[in-house]
Chain A
Amino acid sequence: MDELIFKLNNVHFSYLHKYPALCGIDMEISKGEKIAILGANGSGKSTLLQLLDALIFPHKGRVEAFGRELNETDFNAASFCRDFRSKVGLVFQNPDIQLFCSTVKEDILFGPLQLGLDRLRIKQKMDAIVEDLGIADLLERSPHQLSVGEKRKVSIATILIIEPEVILLDEPTAGLDPQTARHIMDIIIEANASGKTIITATHDLHIVEEIADTAYILNRQKQIAKRGPVGELLLDEELLKSHNLTHIHKHRHKDEVHIHPHQHIDHHQH
Chain B
Amino acid sequence: MRGAFKKNSFIERSLKGVFLVFKDSVLSEEQASYPGFLQSIDPRVKTATFLLLCIAVLIARNIYLLIFLYLFCLSLACVSRVSLRFFIKRTWVFIPLFSLLIAIPALFSFISPGEPLFSFKLFGLGLVITRPGLAGAVLFVARVATSVSLVILLGLTTRHATLLRVLRVFKVPQIFVMVLGMTYRYIYLFTEIVEHTYLAIKSRTGGLIHYKKGQSIVAWSIANLWQRSFKLNEDVYGAMLSRGYTGEPVLLEGFRSSLKDWVWFCSVAIIFVFIILSKIWMS
Task: Give A contacts to B, CB under 8 Å.
Answer: 50, 53, 55, 78, 81-82, 85-86, 89-90, 92, 94, 96-98, 100-103, 106, 109-111, 113-116, 119, 122-123, 140, 142, 144, 158-159, 162
Look across to chain A and name the residue whose beta carbon is closest to the beta carbon of B254: A119
Query: B251 contacts A113, CB within 8 Å?
Result: yes
Distance of A217 Cα from B243 Cα, bound (Å): 28
Is the CB of B65 closer than 8 A to any CB of chain A? no
Q: Which of A78, A97, A103 lies in contact with B239, CB distance below 8 A?
A: A97
Q: Which of B192, B240, B242, B252 lies in contact with A53, CB distance below 8 A?
A: B242
Query: A89 contacts B29, CB within 8 Å?
Result: no
Q: Which of B29, B160, B185, B243 lies in contact with A114, CB distance below 8 A?
A: B243
Distance of A106 Cα from B29 Cα, bound (Å): 12
Is the CB of B33 closer than 8 A to any CB of chain A? yes
Query: B242 contacts A90, CB within 8 Å?
Result: yes
Distance of A81 Cα from B251 Cα, bound (Å): 20
Q: Which of A92, A98, A114, A123 lies in contact with B244, CB distance below 8 A?
A: A114
Q: Which of B240, B248, B252 lies in contact with A100, CB distance below 8 A?
A: B240
| Besides A113-B250, A122-B252, 13 other A-B contacts (C-beta < 8 A) | A78-B246, A81-B246, A82-B246, A85-B243, A86-B244, A101-B161, A102-B160, A110-B245, A113-B252, A114-B243, A115-B244, A119-B252, A144-B192
Is the CB of B238 closer than 8 A to any CB of chain A? yes
Is the CB of B236 closer than 8 A to any CB of chain A? yes
Chain B nearest CB from A1 CB (Å) reads: 29
Query: B246 contacts A55, CB within 8 Å?
Result: no
Is the CB of B115 closer than 8 A to any CB of chain A? no
5 A-B pairs with the lowest CB-CB distances in the bound complex, closest first: A111-B243, A114-B244, A85-B244, A113-B250, A115-B244
Query: B244 contacts A81, CB within 8 Å?
Result: yes
Distance of A213 Cα from B273 Cα, bound (Å): 73
Task: Give B contacts to A, CB under 8 Å.
Answer: 29, 33, 159-161, 185, 192, 232, 235-236, 238-246, 248, 250-252
Distance of A115 Cα from B248 Cα, bound (Å): 11
A-B contact pairs, 12 of them (CB 8 A): A81-B246, A96-B232, A97-B235, A110-B240, A110-B245, A111-B243, A111-B244, A114-B243, A114-B244, A114-B250, A142-B29, A162-B243
Look across to chain A and name the residue whose beta carbon is closest to the beta carbon of B240: A100
B-chain residues with CB within 8 Å of residue A96 when the two chains form the complex: 232
A-chain residues with CB within 8 Å of residue B251 when the two chains form the complex: 113
B-chain residues with CB within 8 Å of residue A106 when the two chains form the complex: 161
Look across to chain B and name the residue whose beta carbon is closest to the beta carbon of A55: B238
Assuming the A-B contacts A100-B185, A102-B29, A140-B33, are A50 and B238 also in contact, with contact meaning beta carbons closer than 8 angstroms in the complex? yes
Most buried by A among B33, B244, B250: B244
Query: B250 contacts A100, CB within 8 Å?
Result: no
A-chain residues with CB within 8 Å of residue B240 when the two chains form the complex: 100, 110
Look across to chain A and name the residue whose beta carbon is closest to the beta carbon of B160: A102
Most buried by A among B33, B160, B192, B252: B252
Distance of A100 Cα from B242 Cα, bound (Å): 13
Query: B239 contacts A100, CB within 8 Å?
Result: yes
Distance of A97 Cα from B233 Cα, bound (Å): 8
Distance of A206 Cα from B243 Cα, bound (Å): 29
Query: A55 contacts B245, CB within 8 Å?
Result: no
B-chain residues with CB within 8 Å of residue A140 when the two chains form the complex: 33
Distance of A119 Cα from B251 Cα, bound (Å): 10
B-chain residues with CB within 8 Å of residue A102 when the two chains form the complex: 29, 159-161
B-chain residues with CB within 8 Å of residue A114 when the two chains form the complex: 243-246, 248, 250
A-chain residues with CB within 8 Å of residue B252 when the two chains form the complex: 109, 113, 119, 122-123
Distance of A123 Cα from B243 Cα, bound (Å): 17
Chain A nearest CB from B201 CB (Å) reads: 19
Q: Which of A89, A116, A144 lies in contact with B243, CB distance below 8 A?
A: A89
A-chain residues with CB within 8 Å of residue B243 when the two chains form the complex: 85, 89, 110-111, 114-115, 158-159, 162
Query: B246 contacts A98, CB within 8 Å?
Result: no
Distance of A106 Cα from B161 Cα, bound (Å): 9
Distance of A86 Cα from B243 Cα, bound (Å): 8
Distance of A98 Cα from B236 Cα, bound (Å): 7
Look across to chain B and name the residue whose beta carbon is closest to the beta carbon of A82: B244
Distance of A146 Cα from B29 Cα, bound (Å): 16
Distance of A53 Cα from B246 Cα, bound (Å): 15
